[in-house]
Structure 1
Amino acid sequence: MECLKVSEAKMVVYVHPSKSTKIYDAVLRELSSLLFKFDENFDGVVLAYEFDILDKSAKILSGIHPYIGVRIKAKLLLFSPKPDMLLEGRVVKVTQGSIHVIVLGFASAVITEEEIRDEFVYKIKHEEEVFSSKFHKHHTIKVGTMIRFLVKR
């Protein structure tokens, strides 16, 4: 999937002095706080990481609550879809005005009625909401279907 990319970053992680005996664990905890959240610095959602501590001596920052600045080099797996990218996801909900999709098991997307091809019409078949093709009667979009779609924004 072209929306997944690996990015290398040199960063400084700020650790509370009470965690100075377990720096590695403290850095793990800070990086874990980035997981599955959009981060503007990386222009994407962090899905996974691995890191190395660059400098064995950390710098103590002055202030009311002094923190320890630990320099690291991290490899980050990012989910960063861009317009006109093709994505694949599983349909989780179908309504008359939209199709709701989950991509990679965590990111949700909505395909609105205006963006659904004219070939598909909304129907209720066997008490289930579906979008059926006018041309291929077995071609339906319903809950559980895997679909490919183009990212608009």
Structure 2
Amino acid sequence: MEGLKVSEADLLVYLHPSKSKNVSQAIYNELSSMLFKYNETFDGVLLAYSASTNDELAKILPGLHPCFGVRLKAQLLLFDPKPNMILEGKVVKLGAQSIHIVVLGFSSATIIDEDIREEFDYKVKHGKELFASSVNKRHKIEIETVVRFVVKSFDEETLHLSGSLLQPNTGNVNWLDKYAEEDLVESNTKKQRDYQTTDHSKITTDDDRVKRSKKHKSSHS
């Protein structure tokens, strides 16, 4: 899935002197407070991190007394979706006008009806709402379905995504990864069969033409 990146960073963490007895825990608490929030410095939403420090002694920061600073080397896993990127998420709610999705367990996404391609028809079967493809009956989108969609926009403050299913490579991930490939194989097989049939008919026609030509010559002789 797109939108994820790993970044190496040199950080300076500010800690209060009261935290000096357990610097490692203080650093952990400081970085953990940044999780699942958009950070302009990191240019993304922090999802996970690993950090280490080579400082044997923390340094008092001039002008920031009584805080002290600890320099870290950190590896950050960031979520930074951009327009036209392809993401995946689980459908948690849907209706005739929209599909609601959760991405990575924390970011919500909405796809409104004008961004759902026409082949998907909204239906209610046995009390369950779903979108079913009119092109392929096996391609369905319902609650709990993992959907692949294209990003239209991302609100960094609310972490809300606006998505689209207009593109042919979007929809039910299970169908796209499994049945779409099977359909492609079936389509290619059918094309090959049609080609062989057409080619055989051409050969037969040519043979008949040769036979008729021979008969014509025989009648003249």
**TM class by shorter-chain length?**
over 0.9
Residue of structure 2 equivalent to 1:61: 61
**What is the alpha-carbon distance in structure 1 between the residues aligned to residue 106 and residue 54 of structure 2?**
32
Identity over the aligned pairs, expressed in percent?
58
Aligned length: 153
The 3-state SS of whatever aligns with 1:21 is: helix
Residue of structure 2 equivalent to 1:99: 99
**What is the alpha-carbon distance in structure 2 between the residues aligned to residue 96 and residue 152 of structure 1?**
20
**What is the alpha-carbon distance in structure 1 between the residues aligned to residue 82 and residue 131 of structure 2?**
26
Aligned pairs (5 A) from 1:1-153: 1-61=1-61, 66-153=66-153
Shift of 1:105: 2.0
Comparing 51-60 and 86-95, the one that deviates more: 51-60
Which stretches in structure 2 are left out of the alignment for 5+ residues? 154-221
The 3-state SS of whatever aligns with 1:105 is: coil
Normalised to the residue count of structure 2, the TM-score between the two structures is 0.65
Question: For residues 58-96 of structure 1, what are the alpha-carbon distances to aligned partners after superposition, in whole Å with 9 as ceiling and x for unaligned?
Answer: 222355861111111110011111111111111111011
Q: Is the alpha carbon distance of 1:105 and 1:16 closer, same or farther for their aligned partners in structure 2, counting shifts above 3 Å?
A: same
Residue of structure 1 equivalent to 2:158: none
Normalised to the residue count of structure 1, the TM-score between the two structures is 0.92
The 3-state SS of whatever aligns with 1:24 is: helix
Q: Which structure ranks higher in relative contact order (CA pairs < 8 Å, sequence separation ≥ 6)?
A: 1
Comparing 56-65 and 44-53, the one that deviates more: 56-65
**Deviation beyond 6 Å, 4+ runs, structure 1:** none
Higher helix fraction: Structure 1 or Structure 2? 2
Question: For residues 100-150 of structure 1, what are the alpha-carbon distances to aligned partners after superposition, in whole Å with 9 as ceiling and x for unaligned?
Answer: 111122221111111111111212111111111122233221101111111
**What is the alpha-carbon distance in structure 2 between the residues aligned to residue 14 and residue 52 of structure 1?**
15
Question: For residues 45-68 of structure 1, what are the alpha-carbon distances to aligned partners after superposition, in whole Å with 9 as ceiling and x for unaligned?
Answer: 111111111322222235586111
**What is the alpha-carbon distance in structure 2 between the residues aligned to residue 17 and residue 114 of structure 1?**
56
**What is the alpha-carbon distance in structure 2 between the residues aligned to residue 132 and residue 76 of structure 1?**
39
**What is the alpha-carbon distance in structure 1 between the residues aligned to residue 54 and residue 152 of structure 2?**
40
Comparing 88-97 and 59-68, the one that deviates more: 59-68
Which amino acid in the other structure matches residue 106 of structure 2?
A: F
**What is the alpha-carbon distance in structure 2 between the residues aligned to residue 140 and residue 80 of structure 1?**
29
**What is the alpha-carbon distance in structure 2 between the residues aligned to residue 109 and residue 25 of structure 1?**
34
CA RMSD, 1 decimal: 1.6
